[in-house]
Amino acid sequence: MVLGMTNRRVLISGAGVAGPALAFWLCRHGFTPTVVERAPEPRDGGYAVDFRGASLRVLDRMGLLAQVEAAATRMGEVTYVDGDDRPLAVTPASFQSGELEILRGDLTRILFDATKDDVEYVFGDAITGILDHRDGVTVTFERGEPREFDLVVGADGLHSAVRSLVFGDESWYRRDLGYYVSICTVPNHLGLDHAGRFHNEPNRTAGVYSARDNAEAKALFWFGADSLDYDHRDVGQQRRIVEEKFAGVGWETAELLSAMREAPDFYFDSASQIVLDTYSRGRVALVGDAAYCASPLSGMGTSLAIVGAYVLAGELAAGDHVSAFRAYESEMRGFVDACQKLAQGNGKWFVPPTRGWIRLRNLNYKLLPYLPWRKVIEELPLKAGNAITLKEYAGAPA
């Protein structure tokens, strides 16, 4: 292993999934990572995320697979229902939940606990400036004093501040897929048992699925819309958008909207992809959603984040940052393309635009067990999840 002594101090922006996973591997390879996170503590709650293919092997190499399995959601079927809660179609667990599913907040906590003793975490702060002066990087912060690092990695999600500072305005790289999603934690008022119930009206999907062994539930609202102009930090405005879009939708929607108003957490964003022609500039690189967000419609974002962190750290341990960043990109590119492709054109199945589409989708799901191409459909996500051959890096357990 050639450890570039000058590249030891790595600042990572973002303590979501990719950030702590990268810090984990950098520590294993002998680097000294610092993670700065805007939130005051690791962010709890959130929606369910799935793992498929190569990401499970990375979790195994991290020694965390058993912990993630112990916290798995064990979700079962999702039933699509009409306005009177009558079942119209059912999809099996494998359809929504991948090979292994966990609440995003639980995953973040597991990754944080696995790294907190070895990694410097700075919560409640954010990067405001990055000056790459060839020998190193001077970073300024909203609250803390300026500091020197050898490398900076943006793991700060779809709306990455590092990407904006170094690569330019988000609008240059973000491709909106024409859908928005909102998720929050609500009471399990339907008494769902490891199951979900979704209701469609044209261009809108309202749903609820049980979580934490049925102790609570997640309400979810999807709708189709061209790019909306709203403030990413203004949760009140985002709640109003959801209320307006779902006003008058039948089934349990009014109940779910009223639970949303009281919810302890709230997520709202566009289903978007980030498409960059390079994942690094100088001494700054990007990982996870910041570099190659595939959108929730792909079900691959967490897998990409976990695998990307493993590859980036492994390549940095193998050589200087210039060749490492180049190798990271060439290892990841095909995998990213396969995962992003999964989401494209997928939205109509989840948020059908018309009543005709809703009927067609339900008919397809009903007939699915008998369709000759069922296996092909089921195996598509797994194929994308395995569209990378993991290298074995020195210092990483095989």
Ligand X SMILES: Cc1cc2nc3c(=O)[nH]c(=O)nc-3n(C[C@H](O)[C@H](O)[C@H](O)COP(=O)(O)OP(=O)(O)OC[C@H]3O[C@@H](n4cnc5c(N)ncnc54)[C@H](O)[C@@H]3O)c2cc1C
For strands 174-186 and 216-224, give the pairing. antiparallel
Residue 4 vs 180, nearer CB to ligand X:
180
Residue 4 vs 19, nearer CB to ligand X:
19
Quickly count: other Cβ atoms within 10 Å of residue 349's Cβ: 14
Number of residues in the chain: 398
Q: Which residues bind ligand X (CB under 6 A)?
A: 13-19, 36-39, 43, 47, 49-50, 104, 126-127, 155-157, 161, 181, 183, 269, 288-290, 296, 299-303, 305
Residue 4 vs 253, nearer CB to ligand X:
253
Closest C-alpha to 291, from 277, 271, 310: 277
124: left (phi over 0), alpha (psi -120 to 50) or beta: left
Instruction: State whether the Cα torsion 239-242-246-252 is positive or negative.
Output: negative
Largest CA distance in the chain: 65
Closest CB 385 distance from ligand X, rounded Å: 9
Closest CB 47 distance from ligand X, rounded Å: 4
Q: Round to whole Å and give the CA distance between 228 and 269.
A: 10
Closest CB 241 distance from ligand X, rounded Å: 16
Task: Show contacts of 145-148: CB within 8 Å, 24+ apart.
Answer: 147/11, 148/9
Instruction: Name beta bridge partners: 50.
Output: 101
Residue 157 vs 207, nearer CB to ligand X:
157
Closest CB 223 distance from ligand X, rounded Å: 13
Closest CB 38 distance from ligand X, rounded Å: 4
Closest CB 371 distance from ligand X, rounded Å: 23
Residue 183 vs 316, nearer CB to ligand X:
183
Whether 73 and 48 have beta carbons less than 8 Å apart is answered as yes
Tell me the three state secondary structure of residue 84. Answer: coil
Residue 4 vs 185, nearer CB to ligand X:
185
Q: Round to whole Å and give the CA distance between 11 and 151.
A: 6
Residue 4 vs 103, nearer CB to ligand X:
103
Residue 90 vs 181, nearer CB to ligand X:
181
For strands 32-37 and 48-51, give the pairing. unpaired
DSSP type of residue 58:
H
Closest CB 51 distance from ligand X, rounded Å: 7
Residue 266 vs 319, nearer CB to ligand X:
266
Closest CB 210 distance from ligand X, rounded Å: 16
Tell me the three state secondary structure of residue 89. Answer: strand
Helices 253-262 and 235-246 pack at an angle, to 10 degrees, of 170
Closest CB 336 distance from ligand X, rounded Å: 12
Nearest-10 Cα torsion for 205, 222, 227, 362: -40
